Amino acid sequence: MKLSQKSLLALEVVSRVLVVAFLSVFLLRAWTELRWIAREGGAGAIFTSRGLTVLLLAAAETITVVLVVSARFARETRRSPYAISITVAATFYFLLVEVSRGAPLLPLPATAPLQIAGISTQILAKIWLGRSFGLLPAHRGLVTTGPYRAVRHPIYLGYLLNHVGYLLGNYTHQNLCVYAGLYALQVLRILEEEKLLRQDPEYLEYTKKVRYRLIPFLF
């Protein structure tokens, strides 16, 4: 279903305002946790296992919001209740992520590189995508070069690496459930996005060259 220009503009503006507002809540929680860690162990404690995982996660979510706010408006978008529900749940999941009381399953030298690799992947993919990045499944222009020659959705791959690193360095049962639910939704989100993109013959050709959506040799 296509939106009128006026409705599309309103939807885009509202979604961006909500993302900024809710991210502010998450960042306040992360900042409070980092201050507690510094108070208990000194400023250097922020760069120990749990502190650094929280810091890297907050940095990654902030980068995401900057790209969302600066994205160009879509030419076409999907506004079905199904598409909107998936997008909302997969966007605001971070409100359920615990940033305190986590237990490291692996040492920092193992988890931090995963998070850094994830953040680097999503930054590179977003820079390559430019202002074509957005929230709702939409056609904002096609990008098929750079990291998009490896998988069709490298931004989501970056999220995955970052979140796996965070979970391994700051484990709670709640975080495991949140991230398991998130990536079930992300798969649905990818499939919904590709329903729209596959209407473009150029994108169909692209899918023949780049077979995997998210994880090479798996999906």
List of E strands, 39-83 = 76-77
SS3 (DSSP) at 93: helix
pTM: 0.76
Give 138-154 pLDDT, tens digit per residue: 666 788 889 999 999 99
Contact, 115 vs 166, CB < 8 A?
Answer: yes
Higher-confidence residue: 108 or 206? 206
Residue 135: the pLDDT is 62
**Domains along the chain?**
5-209 (1.20.120.1630)
Contact, 97 vs 170, CB < 8 A?
Answer: no
